[in-house]
Chains A and B, each alone.
Chain A
Amino acid sequence: MIGVVLVVVAGGFAYLGGWLTPGDLTPARFVDAFERANGVHAGFRRNHAKGLGVSGFFESNGNGMRFSKAVVFRPGRVPVLGRFSLSGGMPHVADSADAVRGLGLQFSLPDGEAWRTAMINLPVFPFRTPEAFYEQLVASRPDPTTGKPDPAVVKAFLERHPETAQVLSVIKSQPVATGFENTTFYGLNAFRFINSSGESTPVRWLLTPMKPFEAARDASAARDTNYLFDALIAHIGRQPLRWQLVVVIGQPGDPTHDATIAWPADRERVVVGTLTVDRADAEETSAATDINFDPLVLPAGIAPSDDPLLSARSAVYARSFTRREGEMKQPSAIRAADVRKEK
């Protein structure tokens, strides 16, 4: 009798802890898949491993208050910590025009709240669900004999996920900017803004650069290993870089649960303020290095949507963060000396 009670309690605990369902997709298995695809690089993020810390400020014009009560949208200035990055788990990969560019931001609000967003330069995301993303990670694992992903496996994945193929063709058809400084960054998922009267509005956000867009020319031309980051440091050294924060206001019925689908182009766009980046810091000195740009670190007034990617991103980022924070830090590709040299 006593044994039965204890076994039932322990069994329930084990079930919740996932020990009875080892086949389930967990944050740890997700991060394992990144590690198998890229190798383990101690101390680095498991994705967007190559990066550069930055800081600056966000100046709100007050226009966002119509939709959100978040303190960040009141007129005024808040400090911002950020990190530019390239996708992939290789911290020393050579810069290339077609690698996905990332920008993680933390807006530090006056009373100790924070808003974090991890943005990329793709207007839509290639994967609808965490499971699809995981499947792709497994499918694109390098073949040990060729060192490259097996094309047949990748093709089979795309046949199972036509939405991914569709998004990838859209991405390929759009020109890429020459550098980080003139790249548009997108918030990836839909969120909800809650205003002071409690009204909820579906939104997406993006950062549009003040520097004019210029398409990257020949992507295959030989360039320096860190040419994108070196140019970014040089730009910031000459003059602060600025982006407008644009909020896209969704209409009822606009899909908020599917990051692969763009909203209609005629949706209202509200410029809510300007981001200024006026300082670059190598990862060895930047506070951004030990920040997890978890997209669900949100202030009151911004809430998650029903997009299943959001909670999964939060969970997987947390697992990656916990792993790398416990490891010996290795030098990053862009060192403090590089930052001083380029300035």
Chain B
Amino acid sequence: MPPRYAQFPAFSRLLHWTMAAMILTMLCLGVAMVVSLGDYHVLVAIHRPLGIAVLILAVVRLVNRLINPPPPFPATMSQLERRMATASELAMYGLMLVLPLIGWGMLSAARYPIVLYGSAHLPFVLPHSAVLYAGLRKVHTILAYGFFAMFMAHVGAILFHTLIVRDGMLRRMAPWNIAGTSAREPR
């Protein structure tokens, strides 16, 4: 009999926690660098390659999700919660892909070299254009705040289930393995 809170596959969990740390770092770097004078250069120099790393991992994660589908939702989730969870997952997958692409695009339109490390850099993917840069720069900011809001809602929902409903929701994504047979029943 499958455990009631079947865990995500191990590789999915690894991707989840790695990307969670990277994305939270990216969001923090983003808000910090635009108000920083002395640390601006260092923060930008991290933000750009880290953003590209998020983009690559997001593609890996999307493929992984198709190969390794997530376990079913726990029985403690209502229909509405399931629909909201699915929609927010979809939105976060979208943002993981789109935010770095917009960053790449806006730097291309501004003709800022997109240096990854040393002399390694990305090609420009858009024409040199003030209008494109200005528009994408705004969208980048708005979507990033949106991503932070979704992150907060995600953490809030998981904590609500884990601490209030006490259905062990967090254990589905626990970094360590919880054997199906030894998984404790929710209290």
Binding site for B on A (CB under 8 A): 1-2, 5-6, 9-10, 12-13, 16-18, 24-28, 30, 71, 111-114, 130, 287, 290-292, 294, 296-297, 299-300, 304, 308, 310-312, 314-316, 318-319, 321-322, 325-326, 329
CB distance from A29 to the nearest CB of B (A): 9
Contact of B163 among A2, A26, A290, A291 (CB under 8 A): A2
Are B32 and A315 in touch, CB under 8 angstroms?
no
User: Quick check: B113 and A297 within 8 Å, CB to CB?
Assistant: yes
Is B118's CB within 8 Å of the partner chain A?
A: yes
Q: Contact flags (1/0) for B156-172 with A, using CB distance below 8 Å?
A: 10011001100000000
B34, A314: Cβ atoms closer than 8 Å = no
User: Contacting A310 at CB < 8 Å: which of B31, B32, B41?
Assistant: B41
> Does chain A have a CB within 8 A of B123?
yes
Contact A311/B41 with A10-B152, A26-B35 known, Cβ cut-off 8 Å: yes
Contacts of A18 in B (CB 8 A): 31-32, 35
Task: Contact check, B121 vs A112: say whether CB atoms are below 8 A apart.
Answer: yes
B111 & A27 in contact (Cβ 8 Å cutoff): no
A340 to B142, CA, bound (A): 43
Contact indicator A326/B40 (Cβ below 8 Å): no
Q: Supply 16 further A-B pairs (C-beta < 8 A) apart from A18-B32, A27-B36, A312-B40.
A: A2-B163, A10-B152, A13-B31, A17-B34, A26-B35, A26-B37, A28-B34, A30-B37, A112-B121, A114-B113, A290-B111, A294-B112, A308-B38, A315-B37, A325-B133, A325-B137
Contacts of B138 in A (CB 8 A): 326
User: What are 10 inter-chain pairs, A to B, with CB distance below 8 A?
Assistant: A2-B163, A10-B152, A13-B27, A26-B34, A28-B35, A112-B113, A291-B111, A314-B44, A318-B40, A321-B110
Q: Which A-B residue pairs are the 7 nearest by beta carbons?
A: A17-B31, A326-B134, A315-B40, A18-B35, A300-B119, A311-B41, A312-B37
> Inside 8 A of A291's CB, which chain B residues have their CB?
111
Shortest Cβ distance from B121 into chain A, in angstroms?
A: 6
Establish whether residues B112 and A292, one from each chain, have CB atoms under 8 Å apart when the complex forms: yes
Q: In the complex, A300→B79 CA distance in Å?
A: 55
A297 neighbours in B (Cβ, 8 Å): 112-113
Q: Give the complex CA separation of A342 and B42 in angstroms.
A: 44
Q: Which of B40, B118, B119, B123 contacts A27 (CB 8 A)?
A: B40
**A296 nearest in chain B by CB position:** B41
From DSSP, what is the main secondary structure of chain B's interface residues?
helix
The reply to whether A325 and B38 contact each other, CB–CB distance below 8 Å, is no
**Cβ 8 A contact of A26, one of B36, B44, B129:** B36
Q: Mark B33-69, 1 if CB is under 8 A from A, else 0.
A: 1111111111010000000000000000000000000
Which residues between 121 and 165 of chain B lie within 8 Å of chain A, taking CB atoms?
121, 123, 128-131, 133-134, 137-138, 148, 152, 155-156, 159-160, 163-164
Partner of B40, one of A6, A24, A311: A311
Chain A residues with Cβ below 8 Å from B134 are 322, 325-326
Contact partner of A113 (CB less than 8 A), chosen from B27, B121, B130, B152, is: B121
A255 to B164, CA, bound (A): 60
